């Protein structure tokens, strides 16, 4: 299906392939290669913690009532790029608590930093840092007044435990956690793009940035990252009371919306989503059109803000 110039450029770079547009992105984008699996969560990094150094699965999972946690007031590290650079910048910050240090390898893996590098092709009015931080609550957010994106270590902890509870082994849970963090980071960078560029969106902004994250990942050939992002939405809402007043759609709704984009991008390739009952037939029939509409909508929003070189 036709893909917008903006989305096509992002897709090409996100796939880390050796295409011409790589030269138009920041020089630190990773070279074309087969991405390694997410690093396993290493218990040796928490030997001094109060948490038993047995299996991660034996550690207590965060309370479901904390999701989504309140937006914390955190101090953002200053970006190294001047404000005039007008770009997203990955600014790594290590965890402080021993219990959260086990998740540092997921943030040091290289994927999240590479995705931020890719998004530098958007020209912003100022430099916006994208930072992993301890927040005291599982969350991820765009701090509009401080002009930064925060991914909380506590959210990685929550994702990891939720995937374990869903039946994943340690390595699969680590992989799915990294995938879900990638989706969430793109979601929050979508909020940042809307806020910094003062973009107008129709419908709910939360749904719109879910669409952006899903479209970019699907078009880059990483539908599994988008699907783990969709799964994480249902896992986060597990055991919580639906907040109908919230700006976010319910977790199950977000799952079907994201899964619809995956299926709609290539119905034959992702037919198993319908065959396995993950996407009802009556919704699947509309997904190709939904995918095209959302792809086109973000094409129009981003086209004027792509860097010329």
Distance CA 255, CA 162 (A): 15
Determine what percent of the chain is predicted with pLDDT higher than 90.
51
pTM score, whole prediction: 0.79
Mean pLDDT of 231-237: 79
**Whether residue 33 has pLDDT greater than 80:** no
Distance CA 181, CA 132 (A): 11
Two structure tokens written together for 270: 């992702």
Which residue has better confidence, 224 or 309? 224
Summarised one tens digit per residue, pLDDT across range 99-154 is 999 999 999 988 999 999 989 989 999 999 999 999 999 999 999 999 999 999 99
CA dihedral 269, 167, 101, 231 (to 10 degrees): 40
Q: How much helix, strand and coil, in percent to the nearest 5, is found in the chain?
A: 50, 5, 40
| pLDDT score, position 15 | 43
Band of the pLDDT at 192, cuts 50, 70, 90?
very high
Which bin fits 239, alpha (ψ -120 to 50), beta or left (φ > 0)?
Answer: left
Residue reference for tokens 């796939």: 15
Cβ-count burial of 13 within 10 angstroms (0-12 exposed, 13-18 middle, 19+ buried)? buried
Q: What is the chain's mean pLDDT, rounded? A: 77
């Amino acid at each position: 299906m036709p893909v917008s110039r903006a989305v096509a450029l992002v897709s090409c770079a996100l796939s880390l392939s050796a295409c011409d547009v790589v030269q138009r992105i920041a020089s630190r984008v990773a070279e074309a290669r087969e991405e390694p699996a997410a690093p396993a969560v290493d218990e040796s990094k928490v030997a001094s913690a109060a948490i038993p150094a047995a299996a991660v699965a034996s550690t207590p999972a965060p309370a479901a009532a904390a999701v989504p946690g309140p937006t914390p007031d955190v101090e953002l590290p200053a970006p190294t790029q001047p404000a005039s650079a007008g770009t997203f910048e990955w600014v790594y910050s290590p965890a402080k608590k021993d219990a959260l240090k086990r998740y540092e390898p997921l943030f040091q893996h290289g994927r999240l930093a590479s995705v931020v590098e890719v998004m530098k092709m958007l020209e912003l009015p100022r430099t916006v840092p994208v930072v992993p931080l301890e927040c005291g609550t599982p969350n991820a957010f765009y701090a509009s007044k401080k002009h930064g994106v925060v991914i909380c270590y506590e959210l990685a902890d929550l994702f990891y435990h939720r995937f374990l509870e869903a039946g994943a082994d340690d390595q699969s849970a680590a992989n799915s956690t990294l995938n879900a963090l990638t989706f969430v980071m793109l979601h929050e960078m979508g909020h940042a793009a809307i806020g910094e560029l003062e973009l107008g969106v129709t419908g709910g902004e939360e749904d719109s940035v879910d669409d952006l994250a899903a479209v970019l990942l699907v078009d880059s050939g990483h539908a599994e990252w988008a699907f783990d992002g969709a799964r994480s939405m249902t896992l986060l809402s597990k055991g919580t009371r639906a907040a109908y007043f919230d700006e976010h759609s319910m977790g199950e709704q977000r799952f079907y919306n994201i899964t619809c984009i995956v299926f709609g991008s290539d119905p034959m390739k992702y037919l198993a989503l319908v065959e396995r009952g993950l996407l009802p037939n009556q919704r699947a029939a509309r997904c190709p059109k939904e995918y095209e509409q959302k792809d086109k909508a973000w094409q129009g929003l981003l086209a004027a803000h792509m860097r010329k070189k």
